[in-house]
Structure 1
Amino acid sequence: MGDSLLADRRALVTGATGFTGSHLAHALRAKGYHVRALVRDPDGANAKRLAEGGIELIQGDIGDAEAIDQAVARMTHVFHIAAVYRTANHSDAYYERINRDAVGYVLEAANRHGVERIVHCSTCGVHGDVAEIPANEETAFNPGDVYQRSKLAGEMLAQEAARAGAPVSIVRPTGIYGPGDDRFLKLFRTVENGTFRVFGKGDIAYHLTYIDDMVDGLILAGEHPAAIGEVFLIGDDSYTTLDGLVAEVARAVGVKPPSLHLPVVPLMLAATACEFACRPFGIDPPLHRRRVAFFTKARAFSVDKAKDRLGFQPKVPLADGIARTAEWYRQEGWLKGSGKTAA
């Protein structure tokens, strides 16, 4: 599809060198948008791939208000995807600067330059450990760590701007996965080599979103008239359990799923000790409490609002998405198995 169809639509994507942002930038370009990406290092491999796809690069840091202002200039759409995710060696102030303050810079610049549509990417994590499932957009906030708290603070700025009349839409994704992302690689590898262990009962709810569906949801939030001023959870049609997720991964890598379940309390104690031991040295600990949350925190959400108001329809079921992800890992040389299902 050429530029002629949407030649008047110019979209800035922040976080475009990351997993979700890169997929979104290429999808918008394929739709005919002129796409601009704010990147720290134009010579980096991810930035070069964007440029090869016809995406304009502008150098700058998401924590720099002046750089954001320059990037937003002459844009009709802004998709704010950039964030600092869960790593244990960043200070709380760093999370706040990137996940909260930068949102304010984006909103101010968008207002100053008359941007037509703004999509702010938040997280389902603002709801924390969900007590009643499936949760929805009205479920109480319950952030459980500095990442979730800082993302909630950023979302509050976006909600405030929307109440003041800014053309803002807010998306809260469930866990995003798919080819191009390595966050779930450790899970796939340890399931394949037989070293993965389930801590706890394995019956906690787990909700994912395949990357293509996530991109569809973000674009709908930036184009559909009914999205303005609204918040939408975006995810798969249905959720699973941790045991269900592990079983799908095992099927995709051709092994039997683990049957042993270990108590989670000793793991949490070890994570706490590891975190405190590493922090004075600025080391990212191999085990920390946020990783233990993988086994303990329920994540299950309704996406009915996005389906009803935006026409959002997830297209890639979990089994297909996990299989595609495993195949990509295999092509990258990160998995050893053939992918044939174990007998």
Structure 2
Amino acid sequence: MKILVLGATGYAGFHISRALRQEGHTVLGLTRDATGDRARELLVEEVRPVEGLMSDPETYRAALEGADAVVCAALDMNDPLGSDRLLFRTLREARERTGRSRHLVFTTGITFLTTTGEVWDEQTPADPGNPLYLRAQAEQDLKDSGLPHTVVRPSFIYGGSGRSSKSAQWFIAARTGEPVFYGDTTKRYTWVHVDDLATAYVAVLRQPGAFDGQTFMLGDEHRPTLLSVQQACLDAAGCTAGITFQSADAGGMLESCADRDELVDSAKARTLLGWKPRHPGILEDTLTYYAAWDRARPQS
């Protein structure tokens, strides 16, 4: 297939694009700058950069209309729901113009879900009071659109370049010698290695029609406390400074939203997709993850 990936130069999007190419697909990657370093890395992985913006469908319309499927691994921070709706509209227009549909694999997350239940699955309701509820609204808009689609909800991502991961925040804090932990020290998260995440997109797009309308939660079976993960990241980076503890509110909106256990059950993905995490967990090989993050950083 020919697949357009929105957010191809981002953390998850880059690994998804590479995995899809390794599966044998022709992959186009939307990027703000087709001449930048990250776009050149896509070229090395045999992914063809397409310069454009999620907020401007005209910049990617031709690539979308030439594609058989679309992966959205991007989030327009200026207007997240608005850009998602523009994407859905562009897909509908492409179907009307060409007479064929393109399957959309749409990425959201888990932090907008309610606190109900100890472990979350695909049936866990969203929390309308959560500032990230707009991700649930986007999912509902997509469902109402009638477009063929699959929703992927990753848990907390780690591994590879790290980039926008929480582990990267702690590696940076180790360099500055000012590590801070925000909120409840007992909270636990579910994690997923970025390459394991990418294999789920590959599985969906092997037979997209079989997963039309489905939602999949993705995470490994490890559920460490966040504090233990932060300490492991600091140790891997050789940081000897003590952690300063502050309220979740002091860390901003994202820290406040996630100041609780965020644990997911991926049984559905394991059963229907045949998906299984291959990596040993974020606590088992933290030195390797630190080295990968360090090597991926721009060298001065």
Query: Is the TM value for this pair above 0.5?
Result: yes
The normalised TM-score by structure 2 is 0.85
C-alpha deviation, 1:120, in angstroms = 1.0
- Counterpart of 2:269? 306
Superposed, 1:1-343 pairs within 5 Å as 9-85=1-77, 90=78, 94-98=79-83, 100-109=84-93, 111-112=95-96, 113=98, 114-128=100-114, 130-142=115-127, 145-146=130-131, 148-161=132-145, 164=146, 166-183=147-164, 184=166, 185-191=168-174, 195-224=178-207, 225-254=209-238, 262=245, 264=247, 268=249, 271=250, 288-294=252-258, 296-316=259-279, 317-320=281-284, 322-332=286-296
Asked if the contact 1:75/1:115 (under 8 Å) is kept, the reply is no
Distance in 2 between residues matched to 1:193 and 1:59, nearest whole Å: 35
Asked if the contact 1:174/1:207 (under 8 Å) is kept, the reply is yes
Deviations 1:116-159 (A, max 9, x none): 5321112112315x34221111111015554x233222211222
The normalised TM-score by structure 1 is 0.75
List runs of 5+ in structure 2 lacking aligned partners.
Answer: none
2:122 counterpart letter in structure 1: E
Deviations 1:162-220 (A, max 9, x none): xx3x4311111112222223333231233576532434441112122110011011222
- Counterpart of 1:275? none
Asked if the contact 2:180/2:246 (under 8 Å) is kept, the reply is no
Greater Rg over alpha carbons, structure: 1
Asked if the contact 1:209/1:236 (under 8 Å) is kept, the reply is yes
1:120/1:78 CA distance change after superposition, 3 Å: same
Considering fraction of residues, name the structure with more helix: 1
How many residues align? The count is 293
C-alpha deviation, 1:50, in angstroms = 1.7
* Fraction of identical pairs, as percent: 21
1:120 counterpart letter in structure 2: F
Distance in 1 between residues matched to 2:297 and 2:201, nearest whole Å: 31
After TM superposition, the structure 1 stretch with the greater mean CA deviation from structure 2, 103-112 or 322-331, is 103-112
1:105/1:201 CA distance change after superposition, 3 Å: same
Distance in 2 between residues matched to 1:101 and 1:176, nearest whole Å: 25
List runs of 5+ in structure 1 lacking aligned partners.
Answer: 1-8, 272-286, 335-343
Distance in 2 between residues matched to 1:196 and 1:238, nearest whole Å: 24
